[in-house]
Amino acid sequence: MRYLPRLRDGRPAPLPWPVAIYRLLNHIIWPLEDGASRRGVLLERFKIFMGFVIFNFTNEVDFHYLVLNRHNIDKMLTGMPTALVLLEIMLRGFQLALNKEAFKRLLQKFYADIYVTKESEPQLFSSIQRQMFLTRLNAFAYIVALGNFFVVPVQNYRYNRRDMLYQQVYFFDNTKMYFYIPCLIINYYVGTMIVSMIFGELNVIGELLTHLNARYIILCRDIGELAKNSLEKESPTELAATFRRELRQIVYRHVALNQFAEEMENEFSFRIFFMFAFSAILLCAMGFKAYTNPSANIVYIVWGTAKFCQLLALGMIGSIVYKTTDDISVMYYCCGWEQIIYHSTNTRENVQLMKFVTMAIEINSRPFYLTGLKYFSVTLATVIKIIQGAFSYFTFLTKMR
């Protein structure tokens, strides 16, 4: 049984539909439930091993096509997007397959401590759904692109052909029926694994980042209300001490959020690096094919749009989290500590409060953003640089043509 995330009260977590599809389809990535039987664990490992063998086989025939057509730019670029996507997903997917338990622990912590429910914060929850619009759109675009897989068998039947789903060259005669059917099934399997991971992991990262951002917003709100609440309740002699205790609790919450953010960085940094590293070349290749023959390369237009939405969604959400966390150190300074000191009659506690506020500002002065192995940050600025790089490659290819 595959792991089903649960909220702190034990209820099943309300998974967004792209994440639910991701959990349902991708056995390589998604972890098993706690307490899975030994037989289930061994079966899961066997399926992962067979998936690895199938991916390597597909990788070989994909790159064989590229090697044979290395002197023909148009044909080579026809097969390059699928070959590069396959290589990217192999690096990302099987790295995650080796670290399923860490991924599961991250999900457990997220749904227990970070996830913002609709009942507790309806306005923030609605804001999260708006921020996730592009990730949902990305999932829809990839599912539309996946629909092209069902067109190929129809065309094969209509025109009496035995084409594969991708541009591939086999080291045997794959047109013979006893080879063709297994190879076609392998094509469908690989395509399903690739597409489900592309939009599934994007939506998982988006969920984690947007809800983490909401927790930071709640933290800022509580910091802003702290002085007002203290002034209304406490006597002048206890005012500074009480304010400092409550501010300390907020700092503890902030540290816990930062620790979760660091766990996210450790979990996704490797895969984000390869996601962004391959993006410029993929956008360039798909853009070139769509430019040279738009009517015959609609699938490249759809895939290119989906890839663009993927980068834009990640960059937008990453920038939102960066801005929120960058503002928190200012919030500590503007928390109203000067009003507390003005009304407090305990000089010793006033000094301790000022020292603690200074420490809180220094500790939380660094904003958070995901990175790709510390090489680049997941922000809109990085996405713009990738798009600029893809356009430069595209211009070069059009001139070469």
Each residue's pLDDT tens digit, 216-226: 999 999 988 88
List Cβ neighbours of 305 (8 Å cut-off, separation of 6 or more). Answer: 141
Residue-by-residue DSSP string for 283-320: HHHHHHHHHH-TTT-HHHHHHHHHHHHHHHHHHHHHHH
Coil, strand or helix at 6: strand
- On whether the CB atoms of residues 194 and 85 are closer than 8 A, the answer is yes
Question: If we measure between CA atoms, which residue out of 61, 81, 59, 1 comes closest to residue 33?
Answer: 1
Strand partners, 2: 32
CA dihedral in degrees (11, 15, 21, 26; nearest 10)?
Answer: -70
Residue position matching structure tokens 């070469």? 400
Per-residue pLDDT band at 391 (split at 50, 70, 90)? confident
Residue 111 has what DSSP assignment? I
List Cβ neighbours of 197 (8 Å cut-off, separation of 6 or more). Answer: 22, 26, 28, 29, 89, 92, 93
Asked if residue 57 has pLDDT above 90, the reply is yes
% of the chain residues with pLDDT over 90: 38
Question: In the chain, what's the furthest Cα-to-Cα distance?
Answer: 92
Compute the mean pLDDT over every residue in the chain, rounded to the nearest whole number: 87
- On whether the CB atoms of residues 273 and 373 are closer than 8 A, the answer is yes
- On whether the CB atoms of residues 202 and 143 are closer than 8 A, the answer is no
Q: Residue 239: its pLDDT value, please? A: 86
Q: Which two tokens stand for residue 80?
A: 């390059």
What is the rounded CA–CA span in Å between residue 389 and residue 274? 16
What is the rounded CA–CA span in Å between residue 164 and residue 170? 11
Asked if residue 62 has pLDDT above 80, the reply is yes
Residue 11 has what DSSP assignment? P
Q: Residue 295: its pLDDT value, please? A: 60
The pTM score is 0.92
Asked if residue 319 has pLDDT above 70, the reply is yes
What is the rounded CA–CA span in Å between residue 62 and residue 46? 24
Residue 251 has what DSSP assignment? H
Instruction: Measure the N-to-C terminal CA separation of the chain; round to a whole number of Å.
Output: 52
- On whether the CB atoms of residues 371 and 377 are closer than 8 A, the answer is yes
Asked if residue 252 has pLDDT above 80, the reply is yes
% of the chain residues with pLDDT over 70: 98
Per-residue pLDDT band at 42 (split at 50, 70, 90)? very high
- For 7-32, give one letter per residue: b (16+ CB within 10 A) or e: eeeeeebebbebbebbbebbbbbbbb
What is the rounded CA–CA span in Å between residue 282 and residue 381? 19
Q: What mean pLDDT is predicted for residues 294-321?
A: 83
- Across 48-62, 147-161, 211-225, 312-326, least confident range: 147-161
pLDDT tens, 104-113?
Answer: 999 999 999 9
- Cβ neighbourhood burial of 382 (10 Å; 0-12, 13-18, 19+): buried
What is the rounded CA–CA span in Å between residue 165 and residue 183? 10
